[in-house]
Chains A and B, each alone.
Chain A
Amino acid sequence: MADIVTMPKLGFDMAEGTLVRWVISEGEAVKKGAVLAEIETDKATVEVESNFEGILARHLVPEGEVVPVNTPIAVIAAPGEQVEAAKETLPAKAAPESPVEVVAPVVAAKEALPAKGEEKPSAEGVAPITLALPGEEGHLPGGVKASPVARRMAEERGISLGSIQGSGPGGRVTKKDIEAFQISPAPVSAAAMPAAAVSTAPTTAASIPATPTPTTTVPLNRLRAIIGRRMAESKQRVPHFYVTHEYDMAAMMALREQVNQTLPDDEKTSINDYIVKAAALTLRQFPNLNASLDESANQIIQHGSVNIGIAVAVEGGLLTVVCRDADQKPLRQISAEVRVMVQRARAGKVRPNDIEGSTFSVSNMGMYDVEHFIAILNPPEAAILAVGSAREVPVVKEGQIVPGLRMKATISVDHRVSDGAEAARYMQALAQYIEEPIRLLL
């Protein structure tokens, strides 16, 4: 009997999806696991995989059409099977269980949580984060069938269950699948692959014969491995969102010059010191961004101290040194402390205290002539500020284009803890300190 593929439900609030593109044409053979089509939701474009094997007998939905979830979108038949008959028997409403596997950017149920809280603030004023969200499969968390032990292991190891093909009955993800997922080689070579591809590609007659640069492998040092693990975990598990703001830096540059004139050479302040202080003072008004999500207890921890982590490039990687109580320290003290810690970090003599206990991070790439960039959250922090270079740019002032000194900064925020509006207000409030830096000295 022919199998019916339906529009999958990719999030608890997804009602309909757009069929962007058919990857497999009518009449083509379909293997189990093959990508059938691309569909678009209001959150992401995803590929849908077939759970069936056979011939894609018929597209029931043309490209570009928007259809409600669970609407039949294709018929997959056995080779030689009479399809018309199959079409006759199409259910008006497909079974609630969608026979489609979703790959890649699954909209995690968690991502939708803060939105839910926004819609319906609880009477206590604290958004409940223990809602059992209906997933694709009934009320399964994340819409993924997984055994309890697999679920626990995935959480411990920071693996997204949606990215694993379950081998158990009905596609259930089991302990074995998690273990196999761990063992399979990480895609470390991704960066090296294009280079390798180039070096092995046949050169055309017209091109200058390239001197082949041998491909080398560099073992991961310990720091690199830790960064990789932590960042992968953060990026996979934490729903990030980003807000960018542009700041007028003229006043701060001027102030810094003035301050530095009064200081000996080895005590001169850097722009980063001012930004750390500004970020810390602003956090005082936004305790929810100086926070961590405590998943096990279903609560947000708003930290009492404002400890700013400052990303420092060191040989073979990156460290975050921590300036404690940065909101309460004078600029000069921040500057001195950070300088010493950065020196220790670069000399490989970092102390545990230097790198522990941050509640918010600042990553500044201003020295590299970067227009702007976005950072990955440093768990368990709920936010990180990525700071670009202060650049001379044309700005429009009272209808006139005039030279200006501007800097872009982007905050990355854990969407489970906060929402866009709060982050935007933070970035706005930060401007009061950055653009009127005299406040930093008060």
Chain B
Amino acid sequence: MPKITMREAISRALWEEMERDSNVFILGEEVGLWGGTYAVTKGFYDHFGADRVRDTPISEAAIVGAAIGSAMTGLRPVAELMTINFAFSAMEHIVNEAAKLHYMFGGQFILPLVIRVVGGGGRQLGATHSQTPDAIFAHFPGLKVVAPGTPEDAKGLLKSAIRIDDPVLFIEHATLYQVRGEVPDDDFNTPIGKSKIQRPGRDVTIVTYSKMLETSTKAAEQLAREGIEVEIVDLRTLRPLDMEPVLESFKKTNRAVIVEEGWRSYGVGSEVATRIYEEAFDYVDAPIQRVAQKEVPLPYNRTLEQMALPQVEDVIRAVKEVL
């Protein structure tokens, strides 16, 4: 199987879906002539043309609003927002329209819409461009929230996101674009709403997703040298949240650490831990630990930024805490 980067995997998913279905089109800032801020849509403009690869004004509200309108009238838009931080400018459209119109109109409309956003910190972009507010979006019923951690999942999940008839917020971590992984060449779909055990182990369950899958895997490799076998469950989708592999793993290990890049309070860890307590209380052997971002606006200074973000050492410490 060829090893390609996550950037290529996402690019191929878009390309294949646009080739497959002429209703699929891309819109966003610099997605056309420039080839995308993160070069995901490089070459698309020349191949698919200006109608299907549309450069937009710098207005996230306009991008998402136009995507919603075109989805309601039969197209399958893939909107790209340069960062998830800018999605706040389009919050009205995402929360009050994309997530609710199907419901508000009694099912008369479907919204086969994908909003691709680039998330995560760690690249010295300052407090307003480095956030991981994934949990906020996962709060709203009606919106699916997907955040892959491997190139294979990125391709398979994006293809599914484009094909399903629901609005999907697709979060790509900026620091994962260069990560390589094996990705099948064929036309495969990865189901949305299915968590996956990415690494088997018997001692502790780590529940994580996106960039923190990489961090957790490094921690697991170090811990394995000390004889501690960590099982890693990758959520892949935050809404709908699939707890089945998490609970299955937890019932085996009885101990869990939840690793997320966003802030701890009201976060993914809170949700997952609570569900474990609710659904597997009799299997709990130690208080569940959460590893998350320090509760500060993410600093610009490199050292401070890294201190605020969850590191491999933080994961190792948390695992030892629950053991």
Which chain A residues border B286 with CB–CB below 8 Å? 147, 168, 174
Which chain A residues border B284 with CB–CB below 8 Å? 147-149
Distance between Cα atoms of A147 and B253 in the complex (Å): 13
State whether the Cβ of B187 lies closer than 8 Å to any Cβ in chain A. Answer: no
State whether the Cβ of B137 lies closer than 8 Å to any Cβ in chain A. Answer: no
State whether the Cβ of A175 lies closer than 8 Å to any Cβ in chain B. Answer: yes
Nearest opposing residue in chain B for A148, CB measure: B284
Tell which of A148, A168, A175, A176 touches B281, judged by Cβ atoms closer than 8 Å: A148
18 residue pairs A–B, Cβ–Cβ below 8 Å: A147-B284, A147-B285, A147-B286, A148-B281, A148-B282, A148-B283, A148-B284, A148-B285, A149-B254, A149-B285, A150-B285, A151-B282, A152-B282, A152-B283, A168-B286, A174-B285, A174-B286, A175-B254
Distance between Cα atoms of A174 and B284 in the complex (Å): 9
Nearest opposing residue in chain B for A151, CB measure: B282
Q: Which 6 A-B pairs have the closest CB atoms?
A: A147-B285, A152-B282, A148-B284, A175-B285, A149-B285, A149-B254
Query: How near does chain A come to B252, taking the closest CB pair, in angstroms?
Result: 11
Distance between Cα atoms of A174 and B282 in the complex (Å): 12
Contact mask for chain A residues 124-163; partner B; CB cutoff 8 A; 1 contact, 0 none: 0000000000000000000000011111100000000000
Nearest opposing residue in chain B for A150, CB measure: B285
Nearest opposing residue in chain B for A155, CB measure: B282
Which chain A residues border B282 with CB–CB below 8 Å? 148-149, 151-152
Which chain A residues border B281 with CB–CB below 8 Å? 148
Nearest opposing residue in chain A for B255, CB measure: A175
Which chain A residues border B285 with CB–CB below 8 Å? 147-150, 174-176
Contact mask for chain B residues 137-171; partner A; CB cutoff 8 A; 1 contact, 0 none: 00000000000000000000000000000000000
Give the residue among A147, A149, A151, A152 with the most B Cβ atoms within 10 A. Answer: A149
Query: How near does chain B come to A178, taking the closest CB pair, in angstroms?
Result: 10
Contact mask for chain B residues 279-314; partner A; CB cutoff 8 A; 1 contact, 0 none: 001111110000000000000000000000000000
- Give chain B interface residues in 226-278, CB to chain A under 8 Å: 254
- Give chain A interface residues in 227-283, CB to chain B under 8 Å: none
Nearest opposing residue in chain B for A177, CB measure: B285
Nearest opposing residue in chain B for A168, CB measure: B286
Query: How near does chain A come to B228, taking the closest CB pair, in angstroms?
Result: 14
Distance between Cα atoms of A149 and B277 in the complex (Å): 11
Interface class of chain B by DSSP: loop
Excluding A148-B284, A149-B282, A176-B285, 20 further A-B contacts by CB distance (< 8 Å) are A147-B254, A147-B284, A147-B285, A147-B286, A148-B281, A148-B282, A148-B283, A149-B254, A149-B283, A149-B284, A149-B285, A150-B285, A151-B282, A152-B282, A152-B283, A168-B286, A174-B285, A174-B286, A175-B254, A175-B285
Which chain B residues border A149 with CB–CB below 8 Å? 254, 282-285
Which chain B residues border A176 with CB–CB below 8 Å? 285
Distance between Cα atoms of A147 and B276 in the complex (Å): 14
Query: What is A's interface to B at a CB cutoff of 8 Å?
Result: 147-152, 168, 174-176
Distance between Cα atoms of A175 and B203 in the complex (Å): 12
Interface class of chain A by DSSP: helix
Give the residue among B282, B283, B285 with the most A Cβ atoms within 10 A. Answer: B285
Distance between Cα atoms of A147 and B280 in the complex (Å): 12
Distance between Cα atoms of A280 and B306 in the complex (Å): 77
Nearest opposing residue in chain A for B284, CB measure: A148
Distance between Cα atoms of A335 and B286 in the complex (Å): 57
Which chain B residues border A175 with CB–CB below 8 Å? 254, 285
Which chain A residues border B254 with CB–CB below 8 Å? 147, 149, 175
Distance between Cα atoms of A147 and B250 in the complex (Å): 14
Which chain B residues border A148 with CB–CB below 8 Å? 281-285
Query: How near does chain A come to B21, taking the closest CB pair, in angstroms?
Result: 49
Distance between Cα atoms of A318 and B187 in the complex (Å): 68
Which chain B residues border A152 with CB–CB below 8 Å? 282-283
Query: How near does chain B come to A86, taking the closest CB pair, in angstroms?
Result: 33
Distance between Cα atoms of A149 and B281 in the complex (Å): 8
Distance between Cα atoms of A176 and B281 in the complex (Å): 17
Distance between Cα atoms of A147 and B283 in the complex (Å): 8
- Give chain B interface residues in 77-116, CB to chain A under 8 Å: none
Distance between Cα atoms of A150 and B285 in the complex (Å): 7
Query: How near does chain B come to A151, taking the closest CB pair, in angstroms?
Result: 8
Which chain B residues border A150 with CB–CB below 8 Å? 285
Nearest opposing residue in chain B for A146, CB measure: B285
Distance between Cα atoms of A148 and B283 in the complex (Å): 6
Distance between Cα atoms of A168 and B282 in the complex (Å): 17
Nearest opposing residue in chain A for B282, CB measure: A152
Query: How near does chain A come to B280, taking the closest CB pair, in angstroms?
Result: 9
Query: How near does chain B come to A161, taking the closest CB pair, in angstroms?
Result: 14
Distance between Cα atoms of A174 and B254 in the complex (Å): 10
Query: How near does chain B come to A407, taking the closest CB pair, in angstroms?
Result: 48
Which chain B residues border A151 with CB–CB below 8 Å? 282
Which chain B residues border A168 with CB–CB below 8 Å? 286
Distance between Cα atoms of A148 and B284 in the complex (Å): 5
Distance between Cα atoms of A323 and B187 in the complex (Å): 70
Nearest opposing residue in chain B for A147, CB measure: B285
Distance between Cα atoms of A69 and B173 in the complex (Å): 58
Distance between Cα atoms of A128 and B286 in the complex (Å): 31
Query: How near does chain B come to A205, taking the closest CB pair, in angstroms?
Result: 58
Distance between Cα atoms of A354 and B284 in the complex (Å): 41
Nearest opposing residue in chain B for A173, CB measure: B285
Which chain A residues border B283 with CB–CB below 8 Å? 148-149, 152
Nearest opposing residue in chain A for B286, CB measure: A147
Query: How near does chain B come to A299, taking the closest CB pair, in angstroms?
Result: 20
Nearest opposing residue in chain B for A152, CB measure: B282
Distance between Cα atoms of A151 and B282 in the complex (Å): 8
Query: How near does chain A come to B307, taking the closest CB pair, in angstroms?
Result: 27
Nearest opposing residue in chain A for B250, CB measure: A149
Distance between Cα atoms of A75 and B282 in the complex (Å): 38
Distance between Cα atoms of A176 and B282 in the complex (Å): 15
Distance between Cα atoms of A151 and B254 in the complex (Å): 13
Distance between Cα atoms of A175 and B285 in the complex (Å): 6
Nearest opposing residue in chain B for A178, CB measure: B285
Query: How near does chain B come to A14, taking the closest CB pair, in angstroms?
Result: 29
Nearest opposing residue in chain A for B254, CB measure: A149
Query: How near does chain B come to A37, taking the closest CB pair, in angstroms?
Result: 33
Which chain B residues border A174 with CB–CB below 8 Å? 285-286
